[in-house]
Structures are given as C-alpha cells and as structure tokens.
C-alpha cells in the first residue's frame, strides 16, 4: 500500500511516490532552541513522527533529517514582518544572563528529553544551523552568481521578483503582503517580500554569534539554513517537507525560492503542514501564559504517552483544542488500553499470528492522509473483538510500530504473587458470602495498584496505570 498525503503545494491529497525507489527523503523544520518547546510545537513534531512511522509501515526506508535552529530566527520572522526584530537566541541570552552557547545547550537538551519521552522517531541527524555556516555561505554565493541577490545596508537579500513562482505555496502576492505587514518593510528592500540571506552584525557592536563572509561579518538569515542543510544531507530534491502551518507563508515559500533558484530543480515534492494546537479555543502563546510544556503536564501527573494519544484524537489538518479535560480523557483511554494489553494472558514468545484484517484496516487509516483518529478506533475495535488473545497481542505489537505507545513492555506482565494470593483469598470469601472481608481485600489490592474485575463465574486481576 502507499501513503496518500495532502500536499500544500498542489492543494490535493496525492500518493507519495519517492524519487528514489523505496527510499523517502524527508525533512522537518525543528525547534528554535531559545526557550522550552511547547506542546503546540510538539504537535508538529508528532506529525513528522506519524509520517515517518507510516512510511516505514509501508516498507519504505526513510532518510529523515530535522534541524535545530540556533541562530538567525528573528522575533519578527513568524509575523509577516520578516527580517526585523532581534535574534531570538541573542535576546534569550541577554534576558537570562547567559551565553548563547549555554542557552542553546540547555534548551536543546530539554527538547531532546521531551522528544524521547514522547517516543518520537529520531531522525538520522539533528542538524544544527551553526554547524552549517559554510554551506549557507556557499548557497548564498551560488545565488549571487546567478543574479538572485542584492546587497543593502543591513545585509544580502534575495530578490523575489527574479523567481517567477514566488507565492505559489503561500498564495502571497505583493499586494496581500503590503496589506498584511504589521510594520513598514525596510525601505531599502526592492520588494516587501524580499528576504535576508545574510545579515550584517550591527555597527560598533558584537554579537554572541557572528561569522566572516565574502560580504561582511554577520550571520545567516533564518530561511537559508534549512535549504543549505537539506542540500548537504539529503540532496537538492526531497520527497516530503514538514512544518507547522505558520511556516507555509514565509519560511517555506522562501526555502522554495532560494533552493529552486540555486539548483534549477523542483525542491520538495510534498509539503505537509500541521494545523496549530489551540488552547481553550484560542491561540497558544508565551504571552498568553498558556504555552504549556511537557514538564507542565508531567507536574500534573500526566504521562507523556497521554499527550501522544491526545494528538492522535484529532486529524492534523484540523485545529486541535487543548484542555486539561481533553488531556484527561486521552489519559483515561490510554490507561484502559494499557490495562487491556497487560491483562492478556500471553507471554512475549507465545504471541500468535497477526490479524491481516486488522492490520489492513489500520494501514488504510494511516495511509489515508495520516488519519490517526481512525487508526485509534481500529485499535479499539481490535481490543474489543473476539479474536484470541495471542492474535490480539501480535497484532497490537504490529500496530504499535506506528502508535508508539510501548505495548512491548506490557506484554506478558506478571501479576506479583502477593497480589495474586490476595485476590484468590478474596474470591474464597466472596464465594461463601463474607462480603466485608472480600471488600477489604479488594481495597488493599487497589492500593497496591491493581484492580480486581469479576466476570461470569471468575475474576481477573489487572494492573492499573
Ligand atoms: P519554532 O520553535 O518557533 O521554530 O517552531 C517549531 C515548530 O513548531 C514549527 O514547525 C512551528 O510551525 C510549529 N508550531 C509553533 N506553534 C505551534 C502550535 N501552536 N501548534 C502546532 N505547531 C506549532
Ligand atoms: Zn525550515
């Protein structure tokens, strides 16, 4: 089977057919490590995880790269007033009284920890923008030689009027840009949508991070890093590029313009954009005080896997609204799933054959533009089905290649002897009608993290999660 994915470029759901047979080359824009990544950012990272896992489920090899932005992303870059404002990294360093290096290493480490806790598939490499300065300068030089650049007081810019396809992805025209801009664009720019490839360090001051270039001391613009790293690590043409919906209009449009102008080839076949996670029906943002992190969730005793489950409850092209209640519901469902899986009387080496029927239903769901809500419901149908337990276990392990809940560690779970003995004693009391003693034992077992469920003529002990 093959993955059908919505392509923002063509505005259609299309089958992914990689340029190289059997190998998909994919890139995802990663975090800017000036602060904690919030659960909105992680919705987008979870999308790239679902795509990679789905492709692997289909038998593809996936060459996957994600970057770490540690320079050049300006405060204005996401808001339609690109190339203005301050470098987020430099700003964060002065706010926290640390060096940029310390800021980068602290927030990168935190990001990696969260990434692992959410069981997101690691890319082949996390490429760090500052490790690719030479490649970025080379790319700018190529663009200059081809006549796509011009230099003004504060930097070297890309001349968007030279790229005939500019605005194809974003739907932007010069008119809409003028109307949408929140600040006057730099008057020296030839067109408002032109963007910085290299920015000069401000006169008479030093930045934490600056480099020599043929044009003067400075630092790369934000967009150029992604193209340069993709060229180096994956080649001039890739199959899928992933990012949040906010990047479509400026960042990704600019990546396309500079990459295709340099190479003369189509840059990415597919553009996949994740719709924003909202909070209480509105925007999630640091200034709104609702940009929750995974740490915030964990401090309220939510499991990282519950957030993973929560992401799957909505389709990535629809807004998903975060509330504590919705997260609580996701966690309850996940725990019920864990309980069911750990209660199967099957050991790891005695699992049965997978149910082709359920695997196919699941595969159809994920291949249908990453329909995770459907994939979850297929999983529940399987759990509730009357298939034999060993078949269920084998199939669940297969589905977990995409779900990533870690069923593996639950299979063949042994109820501790002490708990089993108590449950048996309770059953004896119950049989002869000594209810108070039976109830007392049930409560004791409950305190130990297990529950006893009675069912026609017998009982079952389950671990609670
Ligand atoms: P940044 O750290 O700002 O570079 O963003 C990292 C990624 O998170 C980018 O792909 C953004 O588009 C994405 N992103 C930012 N906010 C949200 C949100 N509320 N929901 C989903 N994705 C987001
Ligand atoms: Zn990018």
Annotate 35-68 with DSSP letters as a single string. Answer: S---HHHHHHHHHHHHHHHHHHHTT-EEEEEEEE
Mutating to test ligand 1, I would choose from 35, 38, 41 the residue with most ligand atoms within 8 A of its C-beta, which is 41
Determine if residue 86 is labeled as part of a ligand binding site.
Answer: no
User: What's the token pair of residue 235?
Assistant: 């080649």
Determine if residue 300 is labeled as part of a ligand binding site.
Answer: no
Q: What is the dihedral of CA 205, 207, 211, 213, to 10 degrees?
A: -40
Determine if residue 247 is labeled as part of a ligand binding site.
Answer: no
Mutating to test ligand 1, I would choose from 26, 36, 44, 79 the residue with most ligand atoms within 8 A of its C-beta, which is 44
User: How many residues in the chain?
Assistant: 465
What does the pLDDT read at residue 72?
Answer: 73
| Measured distance CA(69)–CA(103) in Å, rounded | 12
| Measured distance CA(291)–CA(304) in Å, rounded | 16
User: What's the token pair of residue 42?
Assistant: 């992680």
Closest to 449 measured CA to CA, from 331, 324, 295, 335? 335
| Measured distance CA(140)–CA(134) in Å, rounded | 10
Domain ranges in the chain are: 17-274, 279-409, 417-463
Determine if residue 274 is labeled as part of a ligand binding site.
Answer: no
Q: Which residue's C-alpha comes closest to atom 18 of ligand 1?
A: 40
What does the pLDDT read at residue 24?
Answer: 98
What does the pLDDT read at residue 78?
Answer: 58
Domain 17-274, second-level architecture: 3-Layer(aba) Sandwich (3.40)
Strands (E), 20-177: 23-28, 61-68, 125-128, 149-152, 155-158
Query: Is residue 356 classed exposed, middle or buried when 0-12, 13-18 and 19+ CB atoms within 10 A define those classes?
Result: exposed
Topology agreement, domain 17-274 and domain 279-409: no
pLDDT in tens, the chain (465 residues): 899 999 999 999 999 999 999 999 999 999 999 989 999 999 999 999 999 999 999 999 999 999 999 987 877 665 555 666 778 887 887 788 888 888 899 999 999 999 999 999 999 999 999 999 999 999 999 999 999 999 999 999 999 999 988 888 988 766 666 655 555 678 888 888 899 999 998 887 777 888 999 999 999 998 999 999 999 999 999 999 999 999 998 899 999 999 999 999 999 999 999 999 999 888 887 667 789 999 999 999 999 999 999 999 999 999 999 999 999 999 999 999 999 999 898 987 777 899 999 999 999 999 999 999 999 999 999 999 999 999 999 999 999 999 999 999 998 888 999 999 999 999 999 999 999 999 999 999 999 999 998 887 899 898 888
* pTM for the predicted model, two decimal places: 0.92
What does the pLDDT read at residue 67?
Answer: 97
CB 392, CB 28: distance < 8 Å: no
What does the pLDDT read at residue 170?
Answer: 80
CB 69, CB 129: distance < 8 Å: yes
For residue 410, how far is the Cα from the chain centroid? Answer: 25
What does the pLDDT read at residue 148?
Answer: 97
Domain 279-409, second-level architecture: Orthogonal Bundle (1.10)
Alpha helices by DSSP H, listed for 146-293, are: 174-180, 222-233, 253-263
| Measured distance CA(100)–CA(91) in Å, rounded | 9
CA atoms within 13 A on the CB side of 126: 16
Residue 31: CB within 6 Å of ligand 1? yes
CA atoms within 13 A on the CB side of 301: 4
User: What's the token pair of residue 280?
Assistant: 């209480």
Residue 243: CB within 6 Å of ligand 1? yes
In angstroms, the Cα distances linking 354 to 251, 392, 398, 427 are: 44, 7, 8, 35
Q: Which residue's C-alpha comes closest to atom 9 of ligand 1?
A: 244
CB 363, CB 2: distance < 8 Å: no
What spacing in Å lies between the alpha carbon of 272 and ligand 1's midpoint? 13
Other Cβ atoms less than 10 A from the Cβ of 175: the count is: 9
Determine if residue 29 is labeled as part of a ligand binding site.
Answer: yes
Residue 72: CB within 6 Å of ligand 1? no
SS3 at position 111: helix
The radius of gyration of the chain from alpha carbons, rounded to an integer in Å, stands at: 26
Looking from the CA of residue 246, the nearest atom of ligand 1 is 12
What spacing in Å lies between the alpha carbon of 408 and ligand 2's midpoint? 34
What spacing in Å lies between the alpha carbon of 129 and ligand 2's midpoint? 10
What does the pLDDT read at residue 181?
Answer: 56
CB 177, CB 250: distance < 8 Å: no
CB 411, CB 351: distance < 8 Å: yes
User: What's the token pair of residue 340?
Assistant: 């069911």
SS3 at position 462: strand
Closest to 353 measured CA to CA, from 406, 393, 306? 393
Ligand lying closest to the C-alpha of residue 77: 1
């Amino acid at each position: 089977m093959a993955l059908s994915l919505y392509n923002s470029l063509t505005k259609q759901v299309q089958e992914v057919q990689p340029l190289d047979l059997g190998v998909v080359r994919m890139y995802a824009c990663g975090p800017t490590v000036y602060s904690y990544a919030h659960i909105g950012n992680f919705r987008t990272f979870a999308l790239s995880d679902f795509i990679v896992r789905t492709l692997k489920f289909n038998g593809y090899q996936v060459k996957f790269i994600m970057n770490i932005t540690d320079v050049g992303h300006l405060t204005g870059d996401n808001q339609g007033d690109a190339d203005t404002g301050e470098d987020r990294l430099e700003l964060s360093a002065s706010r926290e009284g640390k060096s940029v290096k310390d800021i980068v290493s602290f927030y990168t480490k935190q990001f990696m920890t969260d990434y692992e806790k959410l069981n997101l598939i690691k890319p082949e490499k996390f490429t760090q923008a500052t490790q690719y300065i030479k490649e970025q300068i080379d790319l700018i030089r190529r663009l200059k030689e081809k006549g796509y650049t011009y230099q003004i007081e504060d930097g070297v810019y890309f001349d968007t009027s030279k790229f005939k396809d500019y605005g194809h992805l974003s739907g932007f025209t010069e008119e809409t840009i003028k109307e949408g801009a929140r600040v006057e664009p730099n008057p020296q720019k030839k067109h408002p949508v032109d963007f910085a490839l290299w920015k000069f360090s401000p006169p008479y001051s030093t930045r934490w991070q600056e480099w020599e270039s043929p044009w003067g001391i400075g630092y790369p613009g934000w967009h150029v890093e992604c193209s340069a790293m993709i060229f180096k690590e994956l080649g001039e043409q890739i199959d899928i590029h992933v990012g949040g919906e906010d990047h479509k209009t400026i960042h990704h449009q600019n990546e396309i313009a500079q990459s295709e102008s340099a190479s003369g080839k189509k840059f990415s076949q597919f553009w996949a954009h994740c719709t924003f996670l909202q909070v209480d029906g509105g925007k999630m943002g640091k200034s709104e005080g609702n940009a929750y992190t995974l740490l915030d969730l964990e401090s309220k005793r939510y499991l990282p896997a519950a957030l993973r489950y929560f992401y799957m409850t909505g389709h990535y092209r629809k807004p998903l609204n975060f509330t504590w209640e919705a997260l609580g519901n996701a966690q309850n469902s996940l725990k019920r799933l864990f309980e069911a899986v750990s209660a199967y009387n099957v050991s790891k080496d005695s699992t049965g054959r997978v149910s082709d029927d359920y695997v196919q239903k699941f595969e159809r769901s994920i291949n249908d533009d990453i329909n995770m809500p459907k994939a979850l419901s297929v999983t529940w149908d399987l759990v509730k089905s009357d298939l034999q337990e060993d078949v269920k276990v084998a199939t669940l392990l297969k589905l977990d290649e995409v779900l990533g809940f870690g069923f593996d560690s639950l299979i063949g779970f042994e109820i501790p002897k002490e708990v089993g003995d108590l449950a048996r004693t309770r059953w004896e009391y119950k049989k002869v009608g000594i209810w108070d003693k039976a109830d007392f034992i049930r409560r004791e077992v409950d305190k130990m993290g297990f529950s006893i469920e009675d069912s026609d003529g017998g009982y079952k002990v389950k671990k609670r999660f």
